[in-house]
Structure 1
Amino acid sequence: MKRSAYTYTVLQYRHDVWSGECLNVGVLFFCPASQNVEFKHRSGGSRLSNAYPGIDRSALLQDLREMSTWFERRAAQPSDMWMWKSALHLGQSLLGDDDSSFRWNLDGSGTTDDPGKTFAQLFDRFVMQYDATPGRIPRSDEQVFEAIKGKLKRAQLLNRMESYTVRTEFTEVTFDHSIKNGKWHCVQAISLDSADEEHMQRKAERWAGKLVGLLEVETVPQVYLVTGKPTESKLQRKYEKMTEWLRHNPAHPVVIDEDQSEALVQRLSILGHEN
């Protein structure tokens, strides 16, 4: 089957032009041989709102729709369209390299025997890859705790647990399920079921910081972290790195995957009988 050359470029949104931080919001695709010009942009979703609280999303989407209309009109009048060298050159005919909130980036090319399919793949790769799966909400810490709650109850430990708050000059951390035997033993569920690697990293970093803060007290509690794994298999490797990183925290937490929580219950049962 005959293959045709194509080029593409990615449209990025800069919420703060001076910081330079960007999110991909669209892809422009140009295949001269098949006289194919396609521009697709983000039509909703929460990723922009989560990244930039307070953003005027409706105004942003209106700008993107107007850009899409402009490219549709150019594609309908192709007399001089095919003189453009690449998708980037075509995009810059509408939007140059200035200080606006939009800019073109990632000028790429290739060959294809199915321009429509290739364009869809490019959009998924550059714009939608790290969006949460539609209809799926990442599990909360409370939902991960359910993996161990029933086991604690059957071991007659749940009703013996109480809330314990560690207070220092600079921090305050509350563990809702703790038992005392010489020192406090605190169970904390942490959901690392995230939309992307960045969210998972930030969650692990927050808890790593809290654990380091515990070192300021005279008797550091023993913390048991029950970690909830991600639903997306592509995030498993990042999950393993984050749990291993937490194991090396100076506060020496015991990090246990939710699937291995039975071992934690057995360990706590021994402490409960000694108490």
Structure 2
Amino acid sequence: MNKGTFTYALLQYHHSQLLGEVLNIGLVIYFPDFNRLEFIYPEKLIRLRFAYPDVPEKTIKSYHKYFAARTKELNQQPETFVNYSLQNSLQQFLDEEFLAPDSSALQFGNFRTAVLYTENLQHITNQLYNLYFSVFRHNENPLRKVDESSLLKKYKGFLEEFLPEHKTLKETQRLFIDYEIKPNDNSALKFDIAWKGKSDLHLVKPLSFDLLKPESIQRKAYQYFGQFEDLQGYASDNNFLFDVILAKPKSRGLFKAYDNAIRLLEKPTRVNLIEQAELKEYSKQTIQSTLF
């Protein structure tokens, strides 16, 4: 047969509209010669979590499930495709049938057309998956990495170790779980744990630099440096301290990049850095300050 074409569009997570930070987290493909739609996405979002620890993972996974179900539904009703010239304008179809365009973090973009080089649609789908989402698999090695959730779990474990018998974290009057601050009317930041010291409220933020590349460490350091720097006035006015629990990279080749990241994060005056080796003593300090 004559070679036809297929069109596809990437589902993207826009973490920061201002900075233009985008990660591909899904892909819709339409094969006009077969009147068939496909939706593919990475099953695990660990790469997204490493880049943006505050990412709304449950929400994204819910959208993944919805888009997969919607694709299956539309393939069972191919007459729906007749109302759209999908080979020419996949965007209008996605806007009306999948996700209306707005300023939210999830958006369809990078609409492309390619030659239908084989009738094996699964082969094309697999190749597109490997092209765009293989990076998610490459970062999936929890045995080698310390991420933010494991740092937080370790901190909570130490806290419970120093608690008096028969007392829980939620029962400590000066320690707060899921504490939220609102620097302005349009944004809110949540911290897993906050605790009241003698004069300051300590907002605890786990931050892992156990990454793969020096560029990733540098990018993450500048991201959080920018956030803490922007919040300095607000933190000073409200007697907030940002206590950042750190995880260093395991690879010695990344130690220099980590040291540079530390020097950068030390610059904001309302930031206190806690290395993993200091975490047990810091946990003891937390309990002593909140109970006595």
TM-score (norm 1): 0.48
Q: TM-score, normalized by length of structure 2?
A: 0.46
Is the radius of gyration larger for structure 1 or structure 2?
1
